[in-house]
Each structure stands twice: as C-alpha cells, then as structure tokens.
C-alpha cells in the first residue's frame, strides 16, 4: 500500500509539508487526469484541520513540538482513499536535554551547563 511521510517537522509546519508530499506522490495521477488536484487538496485541507483540532486544541501539543505524519492511501476507481494514518509527536524533554547536554560537555571538557 502506498504511503507518504512528512518526516520530522515542527507542528507549526506539518500542514504545508503534508500537502506537498501528497501532491508529489500523486503527480503522475494528475498528469494522467486520473485524479483532480483541487479535489485532493480539499481532502488534504480537511485532514489538516482535523489534525490541528486533535493536536493543538484537544491535546494542547505545543506548536514547536516535532511531529511525523504517515498517511497510507490507495487510488481506487480514480478516487483518493485514505486507508490509515499515524501521527508521532516528539516533545522536548527538559530533564533529558539538560542531562545529555551536561554529560557531553563533561566529555568535551566544556564544564557543565
């Protein structure tokens, strides 16, 4: 089953990235007139709005958090059909960040933070 991935990206930029990767993956279908780009972009806009509502409004994920979105799809009867979606959220861990920074500074002889 074909899939597209945004790759790790800040939450504030996922919508544009998801639109770009979907359109890039479907480029050949657009050229062959099997799919309508405007219709696909409407579907992606709807998905992006739903993702935003879940992540930002419901779970209050900070906009500087990093997300990775994987979307599995099929093209069935000249229709774009979403089969599955996975959203990974990577938030800053202050304690781990501080400890890792202090350890590497010790190893490099830079003192602690």
Does residue 64 belong to any structural domain of this protein?
yes
Question: Which pair of structure tokens corresponds to residue 113?
Answer: 């933070």
Structural domain boundaries, residue 28: 3-107
Q: Which of 36, 1, 39, 41 is nearest to 21 (CA)?
A: 41
Per-residue pLDDT at 98: 87
Q: Over the chain, what is the mean pLDDT?
A: 93
Does residue 65 belong to any structural domain of this protein?
yes
Per-residue pLDDT at 59: 93
Does residue 51 belong to any structural domain of this protein?
yes
Per-residue pLDDT at 75: 96
- Cα angle 16, 19, 23; round to 5: 140
Transcribe 25-87 into DSSP letters.
Answer: HTHHHHHTTSS-HHHHHHHHHHHHHHHHIIIIIIS---TTSEEEEEEEEEEETTEEEEEEEEE
Per-residue pLDDT at 112: 55
105: which strand partners? none
pLDDT grade, residue 26 (50/70/90)?
Answer: very high
Does residue 112 belong to any structural domain of this protein?
no
Does residue 31 belong to any structural domain of this protein?
yes
Does residue 35 belong to any structural domain of this protein?
yes
In sequence order, what are the residues at sequence separation of 6 or more whose Cβ sits closer than 8 angstroms to the Cβ of residue 16? Answer: none
Question: Which pair of structure tokens corresponds to residue 83?
Answer: 């089969």
Global model pTM greater than 0.75? yes
In sequence order, what are the residues at sequence separation of 6 or more whose Cβ sits closer than 8 angstroms to the Cβ of residue 36? Answer: 30
Does residue 113 belong to any structural domain of this protein?
no
| Among 38-42, 68-72, 96-100, the least confident range | 96-100
Domain total in the chain: 1
Per-residue pLDDT at 97: 81
């Amino acid at each position: 089953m074909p899939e597209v991935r945004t790759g790790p990206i800040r939450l504030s930029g996922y919508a544009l990235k998801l639109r770009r990767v979907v359109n890039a993956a479907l480029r050949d279908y657009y050229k062959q007139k099997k799919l309508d780009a405007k219709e696909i972009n409407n579907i992606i806009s709807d998905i992006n709005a739903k993702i935003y509502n879940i992540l930002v409004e419901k779970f209050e994920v900070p906009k500087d958090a990093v997300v990775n979105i994987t979307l599995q799809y099929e093209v069935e009867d000249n229709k774009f059909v979403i089969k599955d979606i996975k959203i990974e959220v990577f938030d800053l861990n202050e304690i781990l960040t501080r400890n890792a920074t202090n350890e590497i500074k010790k190893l490099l002889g830079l003192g602690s933070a």
